[in-house]
Structure 1
């Protein structure tokens, strides 16, 4: 029996998975390469010897990859969407992940002039409420499920149909693993990060055991 091909995905979720249907974008083709950069914060130039041996700011892991999409390779229900919009639905779902959740509502309000009407009747010094960015999970196989923050997204639309819908596209994505603190209410993100860290620790322990056995074999008796 042929093996099952796992595909990477980005999942936008709320406070939990029991609410509205999450926004899920499954990679149509798994990227051929993925670059992971672990950024170590620099030490202060005035740090003494004792401080250089202590943990400072946490390291930041950044992930860069390129996802490819093609309307020609869609099938099933996606084939109908591909004929109507090309790869537009997938691109729109990805773009949604880099905007605040209520961006559409704010845009509609501004278009209708609601924002101006409210400003005229209210206190001009009233603080503007901060918008919350979407919560994103990056899923890459069974051992890497990470809460991430999308830092950049570059979309290259390559070919178009007769309605000028893109039928092929490449999306370069840079994301940073979100080091969620204990005070956060993001239970899903904290659970995913804890699970991925445990999986990484287990692999490191497996390597340690393997290295120890190899070292014993090298010792002459």
Structure 2
């Protein structure tokens, strides 16, 4: 046996959490199992193309990037870890609660942030602007890295150990891709979005153009 294999290396999807403003990396979150499906929807931002009050329709124009939403369901399971308890003390003590807590932190401000706001309020500050949240990136291969915010999040805990720690759960995530409309062009997240969009344009350029004949036309009207 040489230990060599022809099987491709499995790349996992996941999230990367950066400091507010897109600074240093705070945490990487890899999905335990890649979901079987990934749903993406777009809300087009455009103007014109419709006549109003009997008037002449204006040409359609794109005002900005389409608003993209990504939805996925992920499974988290401690079965394999519990089969080797000596090597996975946290799974024995807490099940998958730590993994769930990491995801919950994406939608909750930290205790220190909350106490800081309370301290400012006690000090007589009239208007308190909440601190900027960490910048979260959705990573689905090197060609798809997008800044996102969690718009929807739910957990269904399906099995528990004798101490009622969850040991199997399904997580549903709805992610809103943040564009330059949300972040601006100088924010690091805006730069990452532009690179995300540019990768799409590059991929589109790799496809050939269909001929008019394939569409049943010899020329345009």
Residues 73, 51 of structure 1: alpha-carbon distance in 2 compared, 3 angstrom cutoff: farther
Map 1:21-60 → 2, pairs under 5 A: 21-41=25-45, 49=56, 51-56=58-63, 58-60=65-67
> Cα 1:213–1:171, aligned 2, differ >3 Å: closer, same or farther?
same
Which position in structure 2 is the counterpart of 1:192? Answer: 192
Using a 3 Å threshold, how does the CA distance of structure 1 residues 59 and 109 change in structure 2: closer, same or farther?
closer
Q: Alpha carbon RMSD of aligned pairs, Å? A: 3.3
- Alignment deviations for residues 6-40 of structure 1 (CA, whole Å, 9 cap, x no partner): 110011111445x3x52221100001111100112
Aligned to 1:94: 103
1:68 equivalent in alignment to 2:67: no
Gap runs ≥5 in structure 2: 1-5
Distance, in Å, in 2 between the alignment partners of 1:186 and 1:76 is: 45
Q: Deviations over 1:95-138 (max 9, x none)?
A: 111123xx31145579xxxx47x655x43x61122232221100
2:10 is the alignment partner of 1:9: no
Count of matched residue pairs: 205
In the TM superposition, structure 1's runs of 4+ consecutive aligned residues that sit over 6 Å from their partners are: 75-78
SS of structure 1 residue aligned to 2:210: helix
Aligned to 1:84: 93
Structure-1-length-normalised TM-score? 0.77
Q: TM-score, normalised by structure 2?
A: 0.77
What does residue 202 of structure 1 align with?
Answer: 202
CA distance in 2, matches of 1:172, 1:147: 18
Q: For the residues of structure 1 that align with 2:99 and 2:69, how far apart are their CA atoms?
A: 23
Q: Distance in 2 between matches of 1:71 and 1:109?
A: 36
Q: Which moved more, 1:66-75 or 1:6-15?
A: 66-75
Query: Which structure: greater helix fraction?
Result: 1
Structure 1 residues not aligned, in runs of 5+ = none
Indicate the SS of the match to 1:206: coil
Is this contact kept in 2: 1:99–1:134, CA < 8 A? no
Alignment-derived partner of residue 165 in structure 1 = 165
1:78 positional shift:
7.8
Q: Structure 1 residues 41 and 192, CA, compared in 2 at 3 Å: closer, same or farther?
A: closer
Give the distance between the partners of 2:192 and 2:147, measured in 1 at CA. Answer: 7
CA contact (8 A) 1:98 1:133 kept: no
Please tell me whether the aligned partners of residues 9 and 25 of structure 1 are also in contact (alpha carbons under 8 angstroms).
Answer: yes
1:156 equivalent in structure 2:
156
